[in-house]
Chain A
Amino acid sequence: MITSLANWILTFDILSGMGSSVAWGLSLFVVAALIFVFVAVNAIVLVYIERKVSAFMQVRLGPMRVGKFGTLQTVADALKLLQKEDIIPKMADKVLFIVGPWVILVASVVTFAAIPFSDTLLAANMNIGLYYIVSISSIVVLGIVMAGWASNNKWSLYGAMRSAAQIISYEIPVGITLIAVVAVVGSLNLQTIIEAQGGTGNLFYWIPIPLPNWFIFHNPFLFIAAFVYLIGATAEINRTPFDIPESESELVAGFMTEFSGLRWALFFLSEYANATLVAFLVAIVFLGGWQSPFADYEGTQIGFSIITLVAIMWTLFVRTKTGRLSVYPLGLSFVITIAVWLFPGFAIWLASPGIFWMLMKVGTIIFLLMWFRWTFPRLRVDQLMYVSWKVILPLSLINLMGVAIWMWLTGEIQF
């Protein structure tokens, strides 16, 4: 993307006077700014959605008063945070206190450089993309420890120490589950990983249900690995039920207790950037990234017809079970099915890979993360370690072996 942007800049007559390296640097800057804007807007939108989702799950309404249905609430909050006084506690370590939030933010924003939004839209097509993302996102823990230590507050320090312990523990199973995928594809390049999931295939290779050839459907061990990764990644980004570093009820707000205003906003920005990153990784590695779930034009029509049938059955089931008639999923799928049958162009667009499918998958995963957050209670510290070292880690190791054996059985790799 950077190179193509640089080439595009050089096509203008006025700008062609500048050297190609200058154009490259300029487009580098533009892409970096775009990524940062994406992260910032993403955080604002996600905070709003999260508040709404949590409210609906708790039979509340959520923000309602700023803008229609409170849509501008997070914008107003962001503006408020920008205006706030910049407070640095007297006894805090000033340098670390200032640097800490930025380290966290940079570590989480920089990872987006390697994320492919679609088959053409990505900042840097790295051959070690997965490795890069996993390693860079671990720097976040450095920033957290800095912030916790600099605050000169026992709660903050506790939060930081817990965070360090937690992230280090969960890096291992997360890494191993990703290695299982890398073993299947034979590449660390995210584009290659996505391309390997194109087309349709049988569920778990042998069960004759035609499904997209995503890794989650490809292999029962990768199916488990997807959930292991999701759990481990949830713990890594300190989201509930693994949010013991910032557990409000015990540690006030953990490592961000002493932060306010803009610095606190940076924490939030990076928190949601991290959540999005995890969602992107799950979508890329297990759900086929920007690949469409439908193989072609006819596949789209048949697929949506099946979805409508399922929706009808589901509606009838709900009607007999609870006596309530929920028409929205049925109506939506019905409308899309009719549109798909009437307009072939729409069906072709749906069947083609693109950023739409990527964002759909990412949105689903983010919703899943929110669903986790507003359902599960927080784990105790020892339970957290138990889950990591005694459940998730053995499971991921077994998975790695299982994946290898499965590959050998299905003949996808030969020795």
Chain B
Amino acid sequence: MSYFSNISSAITTLVDGMKVTMGYFVRPREHVTLQYPDEVWPIPTRNIGVGEIDSYNTIRSKLVVDFEDCIGCKACERACPVDCINIETFKAGPEEDIGTTKNDTKIKLRVTSFTIDMSECMFCDLCTHPCPEDCIHMTPDYQFISNDNVKLDVTPEERWRDRDHLIYQFSKVSPEEREQRAAEAAKVAAAKAAAMEAKKAAAEKAAAAKASAEQAALDEAAREASVVEVTQSAASMPITPPAPIGSSPQSTPLTDAISGPAPDIISVQDTTPPDDTVEKLNIPMETITSPEVSEEKPVATETTVEPEKSTDTEDSSTGETENG
């Protein structure tokens, strides 16, 4: 008898199921399909701004650079964790006036190329905060599809990637002008090198005259260099250095509390009073929110040793892109 009850239960359950599907079939269209290009979901709005930029109310999506305001400082390029921003700058002549930004900052560098590889960008928003002119920012535009197959100006090494349309060029400088600037810069560099050569030759001639004095000077220089090296290694050592002299007793529990480069900073600057140390402790907290502090800090300690390193960008007169 269970045979027939099986059949009847099968029929009733099947009819039940068919009723459900037919109910959906005949019902007025309550479809859940979103016809994408015609209809889109509303973009969620949320505040991603930090600190003063709290008017910055958008989702994290496509990056845009207000190119007129860019001063070519490369802070965004350095901040990017995936190195997808690529900036090429040339120094403008002293008498040239390129213009000013909306913050009335004088632009001193010509930005001949400003590319962001959107296929590598992970929309982390880290590049927007270091920008001193607030000109690189995120827009709510998340649609990267386009019909134009314009090949943008990218380096030959990147051409193998078949996603050229995702490398966004923001610089308004034409390729011809870019070449011209590069040639000019190369000329300037060559002239400088020639001048250096002449100077060197002159110096050599002078040096040959007093060889014995030079030997003594060399010894002096060697001694000085070793001293510099010792202080430098102490400053840049990533792990806690072997017990620096004169470190305050409070510093030991503090170093335990913090991980990262902060202990070195404290231990090297051994002359700072305890109150100051506590203030310095706030720095790692800030590094979490804004990356520029963490970028800046080691430079600040190193300035005493090698002052010419921080002005790297300004001196780039060789006409080559640093981050190739």
Contacts and interface: CB of A to CB of B under 8 A. Distances in A.
Contacts of A56: 24-25, 29
- Chain A CB within 10 Å — which of B14, B17, B29, B31 has the most? B31
Interface string B20-48: 11101111111111010000000000000
Interface residues of A, number: 17
B18 A61 contact: no
Contacts of A58: 24
Interface stretch (A23-31, A126-134, A370-378): A370-378
Given A371-B18, A371-B21, A375-B18, A60 B26 contact: no
Which range contains the number of B residues in contact with the other chain? 10 to 19
A59 B24 contact: yes
Interface string A45-83: 000000001011111110010000000000000000000
Nearest to A241: B14
A64 B35 contact: yes
Nearest to A395: B7
A372 B21 CA distance: 9
A391 interface: yes
Contacts of B17: 375-376
A374 B30 CA distance: 18
B7 A391 contact: yes
A20 interface: no
A410 interface: no
A326 interface: yes
B25 A326 contact: no
B33 A61 contact: yes
Interface in A371-398: 371-372, 374-376, 391
Contacts of A326: 26, 28
A59 B31 CA distance: 5
A55 B22 CA distance: 12
B108 to A, nearest CB: 52
Given A371-B21, A376-B14, A61 B26 contact: no
Nearest to B34: A61
Given A53-B25, A326-B28, 15 more contacts: A56-B25, A56-B29, A57-B22, A57-B24, A61-B29, A61-B31, A324-B27, A371-B18, A371-B25, A372-B18, A375-B17, A375-B18, A375-B20, A376-B14, A376-B17
- Top 9 nearest A-B pairs (CB, nearest first) are A61-B33, A57-B21, A375-B21, A375-B17, A56-B25, A61-B31, A57-B25, A60-B33, A375-B18
